[in-house]
A and B are shown apart, each in its own frame.
Chain A
Amino acid sequence: MDLKSPISLTDQYETIKPLLAIHGPAEFAPLREKGISEFEKVGIPTSRDEEFKYVPLRALSEDNYSHAYGANVSREAMEATLLGKLDAITITFVNGEHAPEFSSIDALPKGVYVGSIEEAIEGFGDKVLAHIAKIATTDGKLGSTNDDRFIHLNNAFLGEGAFVFVPKGKSIERPIHIQHLHQANEGAFAVYPRILIVLEDGSDAKVVESFSGIEGNVFTNAVSEVYLGKDAILEHTKLQAESLEAIHIGNIAVFQEEGSTYTSNNINFGGKIARHDVNVWIDGEHTETWLNGVNVGLGSQIIDNHTRIDHAKPNCHSFEVYKSILGDQSVGVFNGKIFVYEDAQKTDAKQTNQAILLSGEATMNTKPQLEIFADDVKCTHGATIGQLREDALFYLRARGIPLQEAKALLVYAFAAEVLEKITIHEVKDVLEAKLFDRLGIQTIE
């Protein structure tokens, strides 16, 4: 057995544990215990760990992180974040602490819950306990490199978090915004956001998760669990716009019942290092799964996306498009796993991964990984890594558009194709404007 030197993320755990116990029910205690012990068995991954080979996480062992809880964030600072003014049912967390003053949860339709997990226990306790820490796991699933260590770490800090519940047959038009504001102005902070979204049979909702870094070196270890009942429909947009000093490790785990439709729009703009997993377990027939991703890396950012879709039942469709724009010395990673289980005949799975490299020093590592154990399926994957099309650049320039603007326009168009899929217009417009802004100031070779 290795002797691991203590790391700041967990060496104060015994002191923090009683504080965690204040939030959430007694049933969370064994989940926390399991989380910390499983995490401590493996610790922080190194490049030798297959699932983390491109993300250097040494800082997590070396930096001195305090456990974050709350901060003084002004309304102006909140509103200055990308989605800070979004017209939505909003629940806000500041450095992991529920901030009712920045939340607006009024006039919810009957039976709907949007709020903290802590407050949900009374009234919705059974709904929370039925799903929490049960969806985000690869236990018993195919795959030889399954690695849940950051889910375990998040479980270790289980307590405060957001819960969204939509009862049977209910449609919510207004977007639900789960907003995380991170401000580390007194040294490095670690924060463990937790989200549980439960849509019962035949319900329909749009949820936006945002992670905005106001300043500083933050380690965010987020886990979102999504349960979709029969024929439920969820559009789930996540914007990761942490500070450029931050490390963000996020995991979205989804469980789909028969006939449900899940759409993930996963946008990564921020972070010094961003690692994001979307794992979808398909448990019923005739489901649809749409995984869309847009990543913009500049400077020395590292953006690593892993997706996995477990087609465990027949007659299901999944469509995946991940695009990355990488400039300067940034690094992109895409690992797309699709498992088609023995019973999952008539699976139709399509995976596309494209990257544009804006500089000679940017790199993209892409690995589609399809493991198919059924014989009557349609699975395709395609990956392209390239520069901008010369013919298109010349065409734009020949009409008077200067080189820099022409490049920015083509790069924008490349990503806009994915952003277009966000049906909340305000979110789409803000992200498109931000994309333009980021690319417009970019010095392209």
Chain B
Amino acid sequence: MLEIKNLHAKVEEKTILKGINLTVNPGEVHAIMGPNGSGKSTLASIIAGRADYEVTEGSIELDGKDVLEMDPEERAAEGIFLAFQYPVEIPGVTNTYFLRAALNNIRKHRGEKELSMSDFMKHIKSKVQLMELDNSLLTRSVNEGFSGGEKKRNEIFQMAVLEPKLCVLDETDSGLDVDALKIVANGVNALRGPERGVVVVTHYQRLLNYIVPDFVHILMGGRIVKSGGKELALEVEETGYGNIESEVAAGA
């Protein structure tokens, strides 16, 4: 479903990604781990279409379509969802209004009918429960005054409502306590299915105890230096990124 080939990208004059190759098939969960500054969040942002980065080489395809040619809204409509590391506060726009506008735009793109307010409310009700959110959150402005945990839960809630093809989680675990982490993981696990791909970007192995990945990739210096199964995450947890770095250096 997602095919990234030889992806190079820079921000201003600094090259951050130096040839990423990654294939995510429907039903798979991939974890991308790496130390700070390795380029993991850059990769997540580029998939979603953030304009701060310039892709200098390579390609990203979703079901054979050229993602890099698409505007962010088109990517979302095609089924790409980025759970932000830092969700943005938007005073004056209620969560409900925002989500309904998002969902209806995506449905329109797919040639489906827009949902009426009552159908929309039915659709989101179960998702609110899944994410153990307070109903009052729906009438509050998007992320405004939310705690760190609420913001992250709200991201996964949005994901559950929009039901994307490809979920990209950018350090969703950062700043979460164990309880919130479990709720977030529950939400993601509920979305796992044979049609959907998930990419979990994280620094720590912790989240992967709850969202168990099929593949783990280690990103360092803008390249995937090592890939493996879920046991690779445990290895990182035990020995740290430094060990892998020297291992890779020795291999090269």
Interface residue count for A (Cβ, 8 Å)? 23
Within 8 A of A (CB), among B75-96: 75-77, 81-82, 84, 87-88, 90-93
A398 partner, pick from B82, B99, B103, beta carbons under 8 A: B82
Distance A392 CA – B87 CA, assembled complex (angstroms): 9
A398 partner residues in chain B, CB cutoff 8 A: 48-50, 72-73, 75-76, 81-82, 84
Within 8 A of B (CB), among A391-410: 391-392, 394-403, 405-406, 409-410
Decide if A31 is an interface residue (CB 8 Å cutoff): no
B101 smallest CB distance to A (angstroms): 5
**In the complex, per-residue mask of B48-63: 1 if CB is within 8 Å of any chain A CB, else 0:** 1111000000000000
Q: Which residue of B is nearest A420, CB measured?
A: B92
CB pair A401 B90 closer than 8 Å:
no
Decide if B25 is an interface residue (CB 8 Å cutoff): no
Distance A416 CA – B90 CA, assembled complex (angstroms): 12
B84 partner, pick from A395, A406, A413, A417, beta carbons under 8 A: A395
A399 partner, pick from B91, B141, B162, beta carbons under 8 A: B162
Q: A410-B90, A417-B92 are in contact. Are A399 and B50 (CB under 8 A)?
A: no
Decide if B125 is an interface residue (CB 8 Å cutoff): no
CB pair B92 A413 closer than 8 Å:
yes
B201 partner residues in chain A, CB cutoff 8 A: none
CB pair B49 A413 closer than 8 Å:
no
Within 8 A of A (CB), among B7-52: 48-51
Decide if B109 is an interface residue (CB 8 Å cutoff): yes
Q: A403-B73, A405-B105 are in contact. Are A396 and B92 (CB under 8 A)?
A: no
Distance A254 CA – B102 CA, assembled complex (angstroms): 45
Distance A390 CA – B73 CA, assembled complex (angstroms): 14
Q: Which residue of A is nearest B72, CB measured?
A: A397
Decide if B71 is an interface residue (CB 8 Å cutoff): yes
B: contact size bracket: 20 to 34
CB pair A403 B71 closer than 8 Å:
yes
Distance A390 CA – B52 CA, assembled complex (angstroms): 10
Distance A400 CA – B109 CA, assembled complex (angstroms): 9
A54 partner residues in chain B, CB cutoff 8 A: none
B102 smallest CB distance to A (angstroms): 4
Decide if B198 is an interface residue (CB 8 Å cutoff): no
**In the complex, per-residue mask of A410-423: 1 if CB is within 8 Å of any chain B CB, else 0:** 10111011000000
**In the complex, per-residue mask of A211-252: 1 if CB is within 8 Å of any chain B CB, else 0:** 000000000000000000000000000000000000000000
CB pair B92 A416 closer than 8 Å:
yes
A405 partner residues in chain B, CB cutoff 8 A: 101, 105
A414 partner residues in chain B, CB cutoff 8 A: 92
A396 partner residues in chain B, CB cutoff 8 A: 90, 98, 102
Decide if B158 is an interface residue (CB 8 Å cutoff): yes
CB pair A399 B93 closer than 8 Å:
no
CB pair B101 A401 closer than 8 Å:
yes
Q: Which residue of B is nearest A416, CB measured?
A: B92
| A and B contact pairs by CB, cutoff 8 A, 17 listed | A390-B51, A394-B88, A397-B49, A398-B73, A398-B75, A398-B81, A398-B84, A399-B76, A399-B158, A399-B162, A400-B102, A400-B109, A402-B105, A406-B73, A409-B98, A412-B93, A413-B90
Given pairs A398-B50, A398-B76, A410-B93, 18 additional interface contacts (CB within 8 A): A389-B88, A394-B50, A394-B51, A394-B72, A395-B87, A397-B73, A398-B72, A398-B82, A399-B158, A400-B73, A400-B76, A400-B105, A403-B71, A406-B73, A409-B101, A413-B91, A413-B141, A414-B92
The 5 closest A-B CB pairs, nearest first, are A413-B92, A400-B76, A399-B102, A397-B72, A395-B88
